[in-house]
């Protein structure tokens, strides 16, 4: 075997092996309680967009993609309140994915950006008019030393400051009987 061919062949095998590790599809699991969107169905739009576009687009711009999809739209889907929905979308190469929920009256987070490398699965829980952003995390199992690892970072409180004490101005009373 020629010694010059071996490194090229090895690089090809490594490149194919590394690309095989990255997921090609994303499974999106959506939990939608019965009161989501006042009980009305809503659209989910999955788009391949860069962070700049994601940050500058308005709700109306994304809603327009349901009726008039452009090349950024990977998938649209109707979400029914009270049902769990699962869908699988093809992950675009080298492009973040935005998952948007078109609530009738959005109140808070209505979309999320998944930056590269995109995981193979994402779980999203909806509330009445927003994406739940404070979903509880699973606690880790106890270590062998008997102490339990914390699932959340410690909560920090701002220092309590007291307002400075200000004494009222002293006003001299007028002498009795006049000026």
Q: What is the pLDDT of residues 79-126, one digit of tens each?
A: 999 999 999 999 988 899 999 999 999 999 999 999 999 999 999 999
Q: What is the pLDDT of residues 35-58, one digit of tens each?
A: 999 999 999 999 999 999 999 999
Q: What is the DSSP string of 53-116?
A: HHHH--HHHHHHHHHS--TTEEEEEEE-TTSEEEEEEEPPTT--EEEEEE-SS--S--EEEEPS
**pLDDT tier at 159, thresholds 50, 70, 90:** low
**pLDDT tier at 133, thresholds 50, 70, 90:** confident
Domain 21-125 has CATH 2.60.40.4150: yes
């Amino acid at each position: 075997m020629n010694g010059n061919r071996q490194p090229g062949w090895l690089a090809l095998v490594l490149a194919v092996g590394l690309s095989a590790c990255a997921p090609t599809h994303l499974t999106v699991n959506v939990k939608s309680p019965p009161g989501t969107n006042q009980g009305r169905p809503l659209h989910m739009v999955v788009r391949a967009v860069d962070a700049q576009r994601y940050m500058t687009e308005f709700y109306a711009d994304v809603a327009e993609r349901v009726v008039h999809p452009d090349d950024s739209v990977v998938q649209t889907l109707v979400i029914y309140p009270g049902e769990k929905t699962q869908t699988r979308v093809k992950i675009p190469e080298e492009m973040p994915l935005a998952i948007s929920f078109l609530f009738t009256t959005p109140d808070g987070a209505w979309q999320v950006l998944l930056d590269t490398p995109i995981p193979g699965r994402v779980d999203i829980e909806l509330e009445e008019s927003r994406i739940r952003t404070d979903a509880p995390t699973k606690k880790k199992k106890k270590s062998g030393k008997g102490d339990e690892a914390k699932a959340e970072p410690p909560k920090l409180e701002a220092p309590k400051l007291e307002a400075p004490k200000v004494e009222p101005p002293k006003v001299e009373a007028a002498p009795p009987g006049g000026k």
